[in-house]
Chain A
Amino acid sequence: MNYISASPALLPARAGVGFKPEHFGAIAADQQPLGFFEVHAENYMGAGGVPHAQLRFLRERYALSLHGVGLSIGSPEPLDRDHLARLRRLCALYQPESFSEHLAWSSHGGVYFNDLLPLPYTEETLAVVAAHVDETQTALGRRILIENPATYVRFSQSDIPETEFLTELTQRTGCGLLLDLNNVFVSARNHGESALGYLASFPLIAVGEIHLAGFFDASEAGAPLLIDSHGAQVADEVISLFEWTIEQAGPLPTLIEWDNDVPDWPLLLAEAMKAQDRLRHAERGYARRLDRRAL
């Protein structure tokens, strides 16, 4: 099946949910009050079967975000051309409203680690990542979004703050950003910094999507450590960051990510509806401020 359209639309500024196959029956039973679904691109790289049948079903009814987790854009090694070709085919087939990847690496020396690994932020790494984003955008023929990572360690070589690194990346490549607010909170806590301070220097103008998720608290006495588990409800602190962000930037496409200990569909949908309420509220406030500015 082909989904060619003249100009790919953008994701709507509404709540969406990361699709889990176990929810398909519940999702298919009714039209869901959601703006979009997001899937991990690599899970749809088989030739056929249930995954594609389900993705076709979703594509026909909802806006779609393809989220890559395996391109290893932050690697010093050349991008995997075969993988890039698979992504290109998937984008051509499903014409997603958005494609996003991570500021991270996951492959080295031919081994794939199945995790999003951190990189030092230097002039040198910035040049490599920018070249990789450029190559990806050229291969896919579209602007992509790059997501800020959750990190547990830093590198002594790093001499550029993450927000500056991402800002510079958008300017060099024209890419957009996926702002993961759980990652912002997790990283800030892990590195003893202010999440709001991070957001204040984040280029909100470039944000095309927001991610919300739950974390796991692995802290021990005197040693705070949060882990980006995607296995719980969105924490209150992260909700506050969300409210602050959409008040500043206006409503944005917002995804609930829940990948571990996945709840039943009604609970996941309820979590998305809470985000939807906040988006609606922000939209009204944003519109009022625009009106005042117009006067």
Chain B
Amino acid sequence: MTSVMSGVAGDFAAALRDPLVTPPAMLSAHAAPAASTRFCVYRNNVAVSLIGALEARFPATRRLVGDEFFRAMARLYIKAQPPRSPLMMRYGDELPGFIARFEPAAEIVYLADIARLEAARTRAYHAADAEPLELSSLAALDPENFARLRLAPHPSLEIVESAFPIVTIWASCTGEAPLTAVEDWRCETALVARPRLEVEVRRAPPGAAAFLEALARGMSFGEAADSAAARAKDFDLALIIASLIGGGLLVPADGVKQMETIHGYLA
């Protein structure tokens, strides 16, 4: 837009992003320290604040690799994928993908999935509010109508599927469970949601992910159950209902609106 200022900001920005770029020549200092040393305050502020944001968002990932590894990896991530928005709550959405391609972390095969789980937790923390469906509110419903129920996943819910026991590993890295060797090494799917104000992480029972995906596509309860039963082995609808409704993970399909009557969310 303007000549002087565009040049200043462009040169300044380039040198902020890369310590190998010389600080802009038009900086001045009346006395020691030199302008280049003073410029390092800004470079430091940017790096410290962005690394800090990633450390705060990915505590389990950090614990798994240790502080030194995490910080060095974060610096490379920041250089490769700097923030594109002033909303720091979103920064790090792409870190799981970065980790998946990050050769030095390849040996820790589950690391990217742990980061995916942690990224989902922050999104759930800030997601829209919605009153979860209570199982007791279905008590008055004629059993004939169960199949026609229109329900939807809670707006905060994310499904994190993994080939590794990520819920167990995550829990042991955050103090929710003791940190020990994982005895039962099998794949786990995490359900990450914030039904009210606390973010919760649950192990999904078999078929729950397929069932939720079917509901999200607009299928009725009966259609979703059929679809999930066809796709998942060890499908147990009672367990799924208990986990999803007991966990506050479902809402009426009309979203955040409170149900007026039981018939309000029938198809």
* Direct touching of A and B (C-beta under 8 Å): yes
Q: A154-B29, A191-B30 are in contact. Are A107 and B5 (CB under 8 A)?
A: no
**Chain B facing A: main interface SS:** helix
Bound form: Cα–Cα A156–B27 in Å? 6
Q: Smallest CB-CB separation from B45: which chain A residue?
A: A115
Q: A45-B89, A115-B45, A152-B41 are in contact. Are A157 and B82 (CB under 8 A)?
A: no
Complex interface: chain B residues within 8 A of A127 (CB): 2
Stretch at the interface among A74-82, A234-242, A277-285: A74-82
Identify 20 residue pairs between A and B in the complex whose beta-carbon atoms are under 8 Å apart, listed by A's number: A45-B89, A76-B5, A77-B1, A77-B6, A78-B1, A106-B86, A108-B12, A109-B10, A114-B86, A117-B12, A120-B26, A125-B2, A152-B38, A153-B28, A154-B30, A155-B26, A157-B4, A190-B38, A191-B30, A225-B41
Complex interface: chain A residues within 8 A of B86 (CB): 42, 69-72, 80, 83, 106-107, 112, 114
The answer to the question of A246 belonging to the interface, with a C-beta cut-off of 8 Å to chain B, is no
Complex interface: chain A residues within 8 A of B17 (CB): 111
Complex interface: chain A residues within 8 A of B1 (CB): 76-78, 128
The answer to the question of B229 belonging to the interface, with a C-beta cut-off of 8 Å to chain A, is no
Q: Smallest CB-CB separation from A157: which chain B residue?
A: B4
Q: A46-B125, A47-B126, A154-B27 are in contact. Are A110 and B9 (CB under 8 A)?
A: no
Task: Establish whether residues A119 and B8, one from each chain, have CB atoms under 8 Å apart when the complex forms.
Answer: yes
Task: Establish whether residues A155 and B32, one from each chain, have CB atoms under 8 Å apart when the complex forms.
Answer: no
The answer to the question of B182 belonging to the interface, with a C-beta cut-off of 8 Å to chain A, is no
The answer to the question of A295 belonging to the interface, with a C-beta cut-off of 8 Å to chain B, is no
**CB within 8 Å of A: which B118-165 residues:** 124-129, 155-156
Stretch at the interface among A49-57, A133-141, A171-179, A198-206: A49-57
Bound form: Cα–Cα A87–B254 in Å? 28
Q: A46-B127, A111-B13, A124-B2 are in contact. Are A153 and B83 (CB under 8 A)?
A: no
Q: List chain A positions with a Cβ less than 8 A from chain B.
A: 42-43, 45-53, 69-72, 75-78, 80, 83, 105-115, 117, 119-120, 122, 124-125, 127-128, 152-157, 190-192, 218, 220, 222-223, 225, 227
The answer to the question of B84 belonging to the interface, with a C-beta cut-off of 8 Å to chain A, is yes
Pairs of residues from A and B, 6 with the lowest C-beta to C-beta distance, nearest first: A70-B86, A46-B126, A48-B129, A76-B5, A47-B128, A223-B32
Complex interface: chain B residues within 8 A of A120 (CB): 4-5, 8, 26
Taking A49-B156, A114-B49 as given, write out 9 further A-B residue pairs in contact, using a Cβ cutoff of 8 Å, ordered by the A residue number: A46-B127, A47-B129, A49-B124, A76-B9, A107-B86, A112-B85, A114-B86, A152-B42, A225-B38
Instruction: Looking at the assembled complex, report how far the CB atom of B128 sits from the nearest CB atom of chain A, in whole angstroms.
Output: 4
Instruction: Looking at the assembled complex, report how far the CB atom of B62 sits from the nearest CB atom of chain A, in whole angstroms.
Output: 19
Bound form: Cα–Cα A46–B26 in Å? 39
**CB within 8 Å of A: which B1-49 residues:** 1-6, 8-10, 12-13, 16-17, 26-33, 35, 37-39, 41-42, 45-46, 49
Task: Establish whether residues A156 and B26, one from each chain, have CB atoms under 8 Å apart when the complex forms.
Answer: yes
Q: Smallest CB-CB separation from B29: which chain A residue?
A: A153
Instruction: Looking at the assembled complex, report how far the CB atom of B218 sits from the nearest CB atom of chain A, in whole angstroms.
Output: 22
Number of A-B contacts (CB under 8 A): 154
Bound form: Cα–Cα A46–B127 in Å? 6
Task: Establish whether residues A155 and B42, one from each chain, have CB atoms under 8 Å apart when the complex forms.
Answer: no
Q: A124-B4, A153-B38 are in contact. Are A112 and B82 (CB under 8 A)?
A: yes
The answer to the question of B53 belonging to the interface, with a C-beta cut-off of 8 Å to chain A, is yes
Q: Smallest CB-CB separation from B35: which chain A residue?
A: A153
Complex interface: chain A residues within 8 A of B197 (CB): 49-50, 53
Complex interface: chain A residues within 8 A of B190 (CB): none
Instruction: Looking at the assembled complex, report how far the CB atom of B232 sits from the nearest CB atom of chain A, in whole angstroms.
Output: 31
Complex interface: chain A residues within 8 A of B26 (CB): 120, 155-157
Instruction: Looking at the assembled complex, report how far the CB atom of B22 sits from the nearest CB atom of chain A, in whole angstroms.
Output: 14
The answer to the question of B192 belonging to the interface, with a C-beta cut-off of 8 Å to chain A, is no
Complex interface: chain B residues within 8 A of A77 (CB): 1, 6, 9
Task: Establish whether residues B32 and A114, one from each chain, have CB atoms under 8 Å apart when the complex forms.
Answer: no
Q: Smallest CB-CB separation from A124: which chain B residue?
A: B2
Q: Smallest CB-CB separation from A105: which chain B residue?
A: B9
Complex interface: chain B residues within 8 A of A152 (CB): 38-39, 41-42
Instruction: Looking at the assembled complex, report how far the CB atom of A103 sits from the nearest CB atom of chain B, in whole angstroms.
Output: 13
Complex interface: chain B residues within 8 A of A48 (CB): 126-129
Name A111's contact: one of B37, B83, B87 (CB within 8 Å): B83
**CB within 8 Å of A: which B191-246 residues:** 194, 197
Q: Smallest CB-CB separation from B6: which chain A residue?
A: A76
Complex interface: chain A residues within 8 A of B45 (CB): 114-115
Instruction: Looking at the assembled complex, report how far the CB atom of A221 sits from the nearest CB atom of chain B, in whole angstroms.
Output: 9
Task: Establish whether residues B8 and A46, one from each chain, have CB atoms under 8 Å apart when the complex forms.
Answer: no
Task: Establish whether residues B28 and A155, one from each chain, have CB atoms under 8 Å apart when the complex forms.
Answer: yes
Task: Establish whether residues B33 and A225, one from each chain, have CB atoms under 8 Å apart when the complex forms.
Answer: yes
Complex interface: chain A residues within 8 A of B16 (CB): 113, 117
